[in-house]
Structure 1
Amino acid sequence: MKCEGWISAFADRSSRIRFIRPMAALAIVLTEACAVGPDYKAPQTVLPPEWHNKALIDVSLSQSKEASPALWWSSFDDSVLSSIMEKAIKTNKDIMGAEARLREARAKRDFAAGDRLPTVSAAASASRRRGSAETGIGKTTDFYNAGFDARWELDIFGARQRALEAAEASLQAGEEDLRDVMVTLTAEVGINYLEARSLQRRIAIASETLSALNQSYEIARWRKEAGLVTQLDEDQAIASYQQTKAQIPSLEAGLEQNLNRLAVLLGETPGSLHALMAKKMELPSPARGVAVGIPADLLRRRPDIRRAERNLAAATAQVGVATAALYPSFSLTGSLGLEALSTGGLFTANARTWALALSPALTLFDAGKNRANIDAAQARQEQALASYEGALLTALADVEDALSAYVREKRRLEALLAAEAATLSAYKLASDQYSAGLADFLAVLVAQRTLLTIQDQRAVSEVAVLTDLVRLYKALGGGWIRAEDKENS
């Protein structure tokens, strides 16, 4: 019953009208409010209509306006690579850090949004006081009150609106930062995986060469025992064998380091991927080419560019926040409650009480601190603009470099394949002639050594073509779409 009496006390129509009238006047004032500071406008960007290296674009590349595949590794048709990539996206520590930063930015945005609204609190108290006899108030008095207090910082000049704009832009920058971390991660995982497969192949080539050198040694030893050649041929065979054998430990060490880096990228301890990668596999061959597109596509493809643009928007809004400090601030405080000298009287109509106050404030002298704060905000805006323009130039250079490296490495690989075929033929011919006594053993060793060198260079070039392709995908902004992004697209 007491609660019902309290509610009915607040339900009195005349009380509501007296409280609503100043709020209506306030609403009119707020509709006329303005946000000081510059309104953000995205910078007008002029990009070249085509790539400088457009002449390098061959049949495996396309200058269509389609975006490059976001999940570029799916075109490699390598189940191990795909499984490693999926795990890396889920468990990589850099991804987790970027996600935590995004949650922080979202919380700051929510705080900025809530800062524009009134703060309402409830309070109640009960006290008993006995006055001094000297004051003539020597009796004991009880006092009870309960009610609500509200405080609202009126955003007349848009300081909180600008703060919300800055927080929203920072949140969007955080989303792009997460995507940029994914672009970097997927590229690093792909490059390390491909290099690991290449090192496995180079170790296999060296091992196969050891078997061939051992056969050459046996032939040289047999011919020496038959008195057909001197000890020189046998010693040369042993030296060539040991020289080739000495290359394998460094390749194995490189493979070990590569697999450990890959494990760290997956958020795992070093050594955890050795079993998975133990099965030897050929280097993957991408099933389709790359849609290079045009330079303007980078604005929508590359998350680092979009992040820089959002940082510029946030910095612009912060100029408005700093500018608003030059203007008066207005705080509206109000209370609505009940007061009585007894608990019985607390829930009567006569116990109602309310108060409403508007408190303006203006800084008259601050030794130039507000102006200096505006100058600092404007300088940060200029920094953000320079960073955005720099990100554009870097993106263009990344694509040009990756495009040039990829196409030219493919041409190098074609030359190495032709050289390998010729060197293999020369090695077989030298071996046959030596067995027939028509050539000396040095010709066989030279041909064998040249063949090993060419085969090793070919293996290095094969992985370079693929890693350059991965870098091209990265430069184009591929590799950042997550499951939730795909659902929203």
Structure 2
Amino acid sequence: LKAQLETMTLTKNRFDSGLVPALDVSQSQLNSSRTESAIPPLKQSLVEAINRLSVLTGDMPYALLQELKTQQPIPSSTGEQIARGLPADLLRQRPDIRRAERELASQNAKIGATQADLYPTLTLPGTLAIESLGSGDFLSSDNITYGFGPQLRWNIFNGKRIRSQVAAEEAGTKAALYVYEQTILLALEEVEDSMAAYANENDRVVSLEAAAAAAKKSVELVTELYKSGLTDFQNVLNMEQALLVQQDALATSRGLISLDLVGIYKSLGGGWAPPAAE
């Protein structure tokens, strides 16, 4: 927009000097006004995003407006930093993997508990009683009774039923193991997809930066040609439009990089940060 406003000022000055027709001024005004019209919706989206963040953090809308209204560079992190700071067992932070892991452990414990019923259980109960509360012969042997005797419990006649229960629990464990394995595979898929998206978008932004720089240089060159009367104003308009498209694509790509980085954090279960830059 800044370049378009400067061009509009240039065309007005040249028109006042009688060097260009009024059409050039009208076209430059159209170009800059069209770009300006795209700004209010962007501001509205920004306000809505800030309000959403405020509410999500348990506060009133506009609570974060003062903190976030100042324009700052989009935070970024290199793929190398992410790779160096990635622990091998980081996936275990994911709630779905933790749940599947606990369900598998619980199901596996049921097998041992059921198998234990196949074996005899030996208990040694005992009793001790004092039959007299008199002070003189309180601890005499005649006033104290006791009894001990082993007890054996064995579900020998329920062995078939217990073995069926063990088989059922083993089948349940196999099913829980399958769920656990599939949960891990799906988690790995999400991590791979998010890492690939992050890496590819970083490659894309490099190309877009080069394209935006080339478009900016083209605008400068064609503007100088226009000042010298060596090209018509349509070429200036075309180059400015190309610059706007490239800058918009670059800004979008940088935003996507941040979203892809959020996707990496999400796929890893959160609670992790890359190492600080040395």
Q: TM-score, normalised by structure 2?
A: 0.70
CA distance in 2, matches of 1:347, 1:409: 94
Q: Where do residues 341-420 of structure 1 align in structure 2 (5 Å cutoff)?
A: 348-349=138-139, 352-354=144-146, 358=151, 360=153, 362=155, 373-420=165-212
CA distance in 2, matches of 1:346, 1:417: 104
Q: Whose relative contact order is higher, 1 or 2, with alpha carbons under 8 Å and at least 6 apart?
A: 1
RMSD, matched Cα = 4.2
Corresponding residue for residue 246 of structure 1: 37
CA distance in 1, matches of 2:123, 2:229: 106
Indicate how the Cα distance of structure 1 residues 431 and 480 shifts in structure 2: closer, same or farther if over 3 A, else same.
closer
Corresponding residue for residue 276 of structure 2: none
Residues 378-400 of structure 1: CA distance to partner in whole angstroms, max 9, x if unpaired?
23312222133224433443443
Native 8 Å contact 1:309 1:388 kept in 2 = yes
Decide which moves more: 265-274 or 316-325: 265-274
CA distance in 1, matches of 2:264, 2:180: 21
Indicate how the Cα distance of structure 1 residues 266 and 359 shifts in structure 2: closer, same or farther if over 3 A, else same.
farther
Letter in 2 for 1:243: R
Counterpart pick for 1:283 among 74, 88, 103 = 74
Indicate how the Cα distance of structure 1 residues 386 and 334 shifts in structure 2: closer, same or farther if over 3 A, else same.
same
Letter in 2 for 1:427: V
Counterpart pick for 2:90 among 301, 314, 331 = 301
Give 1:424 shift: 0.5
Indicate how the Cα distance of structure 1 residues 441 and 394 shifts in structure 2: closer, same or farther if over 3 A, else same.
same
Indicate how the Cα distance of structure 1 residues 355 and 444 shifts in structure 2: closer, same or farther if over 3 A, else same.
farther
CA distance in 1, matches of 2:61, 2:115: 53
1:464 paired with 2:253, answer: no
Give 1:375 shift: 4.5
CA distance in 2, matches of 1:262, 1:398: 25
Residues 304-335 of structure 1: CA distance to partner in whole angstroms, max 9, x if unpaired?
58735554333212222233345566666555
DSSP-derived class of the 2:225 partner? helix
Native 8 Å contact 1:423 1:450 kept in 2 = yes
Corresponding residue for residue 112 of structure 2: 320
Instruction: Judging by fraction of residues, say which structure has more strand.
Output: 1
CA distance in 1, matches of 2:188, 2:180: 13
CA distance in 2, matches of 1:478, 1:253: 30
DSSP-derived class of the 1:282 partner? coil
CA distance in 1, matches of 2:232, 2:92: 62
CA distance in 2, matches of 1:291, 1:245: 39
CA distance in 1, matches of 2:111, 2:191: 34
CA distance in 2, matches of 1:375, 1:419: 66
CA distance in 2, matches of 1:259, 1:416: 28
Indicate how the Cα distance of structure 1 residues 464 and 329 shifts in structure 2: closer, same or farther if over 3 A, else same.
same
1:454 paired with 2:246, answer: yes
DSSP-derived class of the 2:219 partner? helix
CA distance in 1, matches of 2:227, 2:253: 33
DSSP-derived class of the 1:462 partner? helix
CA distance in 1, matches of 2:72, 2:125: 73
Q: Where do residues 168-207 of structure 1 align in structure 2 (5 Å cutoff)?
A: none
Native 8 Å contact 2:79 2:199 kept in 1 = no
Indicate how the Cα distance of structure 1 residues 385 and 241 shifts in structure 2: closer, same or farther if over 3 A, else same.
same
Instruction: Judging by fraction of residues, say which structure has more helix.
Output: 2
Native 8 Å contact 2:76 2:257 kept in 1 = no
Give 1:367 shift: 11
Indicate how the Cα distance of structure 1 residues 456 and 367 shifts in structure 2: closer, same or farther if over 3 A, else same.
same
Letter in 1 for 2:112: G
CA distance in 1, matches of 2:156, 2:64: 64
DSSP-derived class of the 1:415 partner? helix
CA distance in 2, matches of 1:317, 1:379: 13
CA distance in 2, matches of 1:269, 1:212: 39
